[in-house]
Homo-oligomer: A and B are copies of this chain.
Amino acid sequence: MNKNKHIVVGIIGLGSRGFSITQMIAKMKDVEIKYVCDTYEDRTEAAQASVFRLAGYKPQIVTDYKYILADEEVQAVLILTSWETHIKIAIDAMVSGKYAGMEVGGAYDINDCFLLVEAYEKTGIPCMMLENCCYGKYELMIKNMVDKGILGEIVHCSGGYMHDLREEIAYGKENRHYRLRNYISRNCDNYPTHELGPIAKLLKINNGNLMLSIYSISSKSKGLSHYLNEKKKDDLELCNTVFKQGDIITSVIKCQNGETITLTLDTTLPRFYSRGFSVSGTKGRYQEDGNLIFLDDKHCKFHFLSRIFYNNASLYLRRYMHPIWKRFKKEGVKGGHGGMDYLVLRAFLESVRDRTDTPIDVYDSASWMAITALSEKSILIDAPVPIPDFTKGKWKSKKTSEGRYSLD
């Protein structure tokens, strides 16, 4: 063991996202990446070489994550694999006594979410979805404003993952990317936690509030086939593939405390990227599209003039930037996606170091991931479906976390 490193981790899954997270962690002086794991040899070698280049040591290469779990020195694993395997590996990690940090994804079966919670409750080992958007600069500023009461009582939020991924999906065979097979075989909100994560934290879901039910509908599926027939004409197999995944999935969620949430998945059509975040309260509103803050006291006379206020939300950063971000700016913003990748990793890794709960816990992770399986079911049966209370009533009296990265 490297004596200067406090935190020893294994990294499982080294696709494009896994590789970039490996690089980010390699630069952290207090973390040792003891293992890099993938079933593809070229990926493990590239990751090992990259860590050596950045940090001067070589992680061990393994192709089976169970070797990592068998090493008592490893305190945590980062699960950056394809969506299908997140929960299984996380459960195995907890059972082996290792903190589980899972990349963003959704569940395939609601029972897997129960198993995830069960593993935590049996072992007491934390499991955290690494939902970076919970640490987005604007998401946290709005959360800060909500916590201070600036927007009044919150009654509705919206958000989604609206990101043109046609190229990534269309070249899924070439890039060994799991999205392709998912878009062929399923129809659901396959990526709900942008922006459900930040919304759930803001609405205190599982911590005084609950999600109760979801209803989802799917548009027809036209984006990918149109794209393929324009840009990848020679891939006849794919051009003739029927994609089950609708282009736009819209889900509406009801909460225990009377709020509603609208979620959108929009990943196979041309568009500007947006997480479509909006928060509506009795005193004001934020919306990402237009980057607008409306405060009743201040803007009520101008309510027909949204266009001249576009981007006014940036002016509020000075006053309402979240303490996590203030500190981050002082210490030097680093890492991908504007810094939020770094923050979510530190939130996880410092919990590992301090042996504390993680700011996004297993109940958050399970209930957010459940949305994928439940949206699939709702689309199939064309009816709203209940969202289980994974906390079994503990949401009424959850202990609020207080760490440096707390989102409570």
Task: Give residues in A with beta carbon < 8 Å to B.
Answer: 152-153, 155-156, 164, 213, 215, 217-220, 222-223, 226-227, 246-248, 250, 252, 254, 257-260, 262, 264, 266, 269-274, 280-285, 287, 289-292, 294-296, 299-300, 302-307, 309-311, 382-384
Chain B residue contacts of A287, Cβ below 8 A: 289
Give bound CA distance, A269 to B299, whole Å: 13
Give bound CA distance, A199 to B139, whole Å: 31
Structural contact, A273 and B155, CB atoms closer than 8 A? no
Cβ of A340 to closest chain B Cβ, rounded Å: 14
Chain B residue contacts of A217, Cβ below 8 A: 215, 252, 254, 260
Cβ of A291 to closest chain B Cβ, rounded Å: 6
Cβ of A303 to closest chain B Cβ, rounded Å: 5
Chain B residue contacts of A274, Cβ below 8 A: 306
Give bound CA distance, A309 to B219, whole Å: 27
Structural contact, A153 and B300, CB atoms closer than 8 A? no
Structural contact, B290 and A259, CB atoms closer than 8 A? no
Chain B residue contacts of A273, Cβ below 8 A: 303-304, 306
Give bound CA distance, A27 to B340, whole Å: 59
Give bound CA distance, A186 to B343, whole Å: 46
Cβ of A62 to closest chain B Cβ, rounded Å: 35
Give bound CA distance, A264 to B215, whole Å: 15
Chain B residue contacts of A226, Cβ below 8 A: 152-153, 282-283
A-B contact pairs, 15 of them (CB 8 A): A152-B226, A155-B223, A155-B247, A156-B247, A217-B260, A220-B259, A247-B280, A262-B264, A269-B282, A270-B300, A270-B303, A271-B294, A272-B290, A272-B294, A272-B302
Residue of B258, B259, B281, B383 near A383 (CB, 8 A) is: B383
Cβ of A274 to closest chain B Cβ, rounded Å: 6
Structural contact, A270 and B294, CB atoms closer than 8 A? yes
Smallest Cβ-Cβ distance to A225: which chain B residue: B282
Chain B residue contacts of A219, Cβ below 8 A: 155-156, 258-260
Chain B residue contacts of A384, Cβ below 8 A: 215, 382-383
Structural contact, A310 and B290, CB atoms closer than 8 A? yes
Give bound CA distance, A285 to B268, whole Å: 12
Residue of B260, B300, B307 near A250 (CB, 8 A) is: B260
Residue of B155, B262, B285, B302 near A222 (CB, 8 A) is: B155
Residue of B155, B213, B220, B259 near A257 (CB, 8 A) is: B220
Chain B residue contacts of A270, Cβ below 8 A: 282-285, 294-296, 299-300, 303
Smallest Cβ-Cβ distance to A213: which chain B residue: B382
Cβ of A309 to closest chain B Cβ, rounded Å: 7
Give bound CA distance, A215 to B213, whole Å: 13
Give bound CA distance, A222 to B296, whole Å: 14
Give bound CA distance, A266 to B280, whole Å: 9
Give bound CA distance, A361 to B155, whole Å: 37
Residue of B153, B258, B269, B305 near A281 (CB, 8 A) is: B269
State the 5 A-B residue pairs at the shortest beta-carbon distance, nearest first: A220-B258, A272-B306, A270-B296, A289-B289, A226-B282
Residue of B164, B222, B309 near A300 (CB, 8 A) is: B164
Chain B residue contacts of A299, Cβ below 8 A: 270, 272
Give bound CA distance, A271 to B285, whole Å: 6
Chain B residue contacts of A303, Cβ below 8 A: 164, 270-273
Chain B residue contacts of A310, Cβ below 8 A: 290, 307, 310-311
Smallest Cβ-Cβ distance to A151: which chain B residue: B270
Q: Indicate whether A250 sits within 8 Å of B269 (C-beta atoms), given known contacts A155-B222, A290-B290.
A: no
Chain B residue contacts of A281, Cβ below 8 A: 269
Chain B residue contacts of A305, Cβ below 8 A: 272
Smallest Cβ-Cβ distance to A223: which chain B residue: B282
Give bound CA distance, A400 to B300, whole Å: 43
Chain B residue contacts of A302, Cβ below 8 A: 272
